[in-house]
Structure 1
Amino acid sequence: MAITVEKPGIDGLEEAVAELREWQSDGVAWQLHPGDLGWFWRKGPEETAASVRIWRRDGRILAVGFLDGADLLRFTTAPDVRRDEELARRVAEDVASPERGVLPEGNVFVEAPPDALLQEVLPGHGWHVDDEEPWTPLSLDLTEPVKAPDLRIETVGADLAAAWAEVIGTAFNGSTFTAEKWRTMAAGPAFADARCLLGYDDRGAAVAAVAVWSAGPGKPGLLEPMGVHRDQRGHGYGRAITVAAAAALRELGSSSAVVNTPSSNVAAVTTYKSGGFQPWPETRDLTRDA
């Protein structure tokens, strides 16, 4: 049968999250993670469902795409079809045709695993490497125990949602995150394997926050997001909450902790490196000009 692309609807999101869990591997520099959908779930299940695309063949999910904004498709595949020519050419056709409802017209972007055949096929359809915004993937092997950070850490439940939301809200310019959005996020299927952590200084003030997303035992876990209160920067709290996040993922059975950040965000890259994370080679999206 031919490959088809579909919007999964709310009921199909759990299936997409489950497949993304299964596909995670320490051998890939970066790929779409169930935690990416879990963090986006703060916007609600309807908006999350509207942002997901699934490619199937004979009923089997081959690939999942996530519209992280109107102009960026974050895409990954099952490991055994990463080099599938039929899939790569079908996806290339879908992202090139706005009427298929994957990407709109104009200047758009696709993020795909570095080893995906799509990386080679798209340039033949009018796409090129985006030279303006490289990304730095980083990872930390969790085979050995992680040293406890010098910061009091609390696991966040509904009682601490407002405090966690406040730290995240101040950490990112333009953030609209609220306690209500935390509760929405926590109701999503990806949150079953997640933890939110809050770090406190010696005075008892909440100074740093992070969410970690496990993909199951023996698979990489994701940090998304991590932030330090804007009034508390420069004290090492970013490093401390990053180490706490890695420790939490190890408790959840993750094989490694992974994160991806724009290379231009030098402070973030430095923070992760100070927490023991090792950088992979930079990755770049593919783009199609308007």
Structure 2
Amino acid sequence: MTIVLGTPTAGGVREAMGALREWQYDGAPMQLHPGDIGWNYRFGTAETAAVVRTWSRGGRILAVGMQDSPTVLRMTVAPDAFRDEELARRLVEDLSLPERGVLPAGAVSVEAPLGLLLHDLLTKDDWGVDEPWTPLFRDLADEVEDPGVRIEAIGPEQAQDFADVLRSAFDTSRPTRAYWHAMSAGPFHADARCLGAYDDQGNPAAVVTVWSAGPGKPGLVEPMGVHADHRGRGYGRAITVAGAAALRELGSSSVRVCTPSSNVGGVATYRAAGFEARPEIGDRIRKA
């Protein structure tokens, strides 16, 4: 049967999300998570559907991708299709031909889990490997420790706190209170918990959003940020621990995150929050 590339409707994203949930398990390599798409809903429902891609055979979804930007695709594949040659060859074609609507001509990058046959074929086509990222994991079988600071759930009244911290943490003007409202209005926000850490004066110091993939599945940290005025005081560790506790309450079996290896402070923060680093990974890149 022919493999079909598709861009789902807004309603069809649910099917892609269902596949992503099914594919998450604790022993899996770092891969696209339902929370990645959930976080994208800050841009809107139609906008999120427009950046999702699916590859199906016989009506079954075998791979799901999300355009993180026009030149970056994040994707994963069904566990039993990691070495599926027909799928791998079709993915290479769709990633290489701009007219397929997945990636444009010129310099592009693809984030895909280790172990895919796709990597072997991209190497043969002279795709390189970009700067390394560090995947980090924490098991949630045991009770999570107290974070040691004041933690509050982020709701409509705290949406500006959420935006202020992220703008400062990532040195950007893009996050606004509308981000939180759009994300919370998305169809998958029930899978998320958004938390804030506050100092003794009630100022927002750090925020985190965590995403469940369902009971017994690994959850995701996306995003976590510490306000520049509060760095170096343990708020990153505290808010990450609080997020892990929230995921455990949702039934998650573990929690994962991936950060650039060059972000030494970020890696140290997650380690301090009980995460263990796994071997580095890198996006596949095609130069212009």
Q: TM-score range by the shorter chain?
A: over 0.9
Q: CA RMSD for the aligned pairs?
A: 1.1
* Aligned residue number for residue 178 of structure 1: 176
- Indicate the percent of aligned positions where both proteins have the same amino acid: 59
Give 1:9's aligned amino acid.
T
C-alpha displacement of 1:159? 2.2
Instruction: Please give the TM-score of this superposition, normalised by the length of structure 1.
Output: 0.97
Alignment of 1:37-186 (within 5 A): 37-130=37-130, 133-186=131-184
Give 2:275's aligned amino acid.
F
**Alpha-carbon separation, structure 2, partners of 1:249 and 1:202:** 26
**Alpha-carbon separation, structure 2, partners of 1:64 and 1:188:** 19
CA contact (8 A) 1:140 1:276 kept: yes
Unaligned runs of 5+ in 1: none
Cα distance per residue 1:47-85 (max 9 Å; x no partner): 211111100101111100111111111110111111111
* Aligned residue number for residue 243 of structure 2: 245
C-alpha displacement of 1:18? 1.6
Instruction: Please give the TM-score of this superposition, normalised by the length of structure 2.
Output: 0.97
**Alpha-carbon separation, structure 2, partners of 1:175 and 1:134:** 26
C-alpha displacement of 1:244? 0.6
Give the secondary-structure state (helix, strand or coil) at the position aligned to 1:204: coil
* Aligned residue number for residue 22 of structure 1: 22
Give the secondary-structure state (helix, strand or coil) at the position aligned to 2:145: coil
**Alpha-carbon separation, structure 1, partners of 2:187 and 2:18:** 9
C-alpha displacement of 1:29? 2.6
C-alpha displacement of 1:46? 1.8
* Aligned residue number for residue 275 of structure 1: 273
Give the secondary-structure state (helix, strand or coil) at the position aligned to 2:11: helix
Cα distance per residue 1:240-273 (max 9 Å; x no partner): 1111111111111111010000000011000000
**Alpha-carbon separation, structure 2, partners of 1:175 and 1:140:** 31
Give the secondary-structure state (helix, strand or coil) at the position aligned to 1:64: strand
Segment drifting more, 78-87 vs 277-286:
78-87
* Aligned residue number for residue 2 of structure 2: 2
Cα distance per residue 1:168-206 (max 9 Å; x no partner): 222111141111121111122231210000111122211
Residue 11 (structure 1) aligned with residue 11 (structure 2): yes
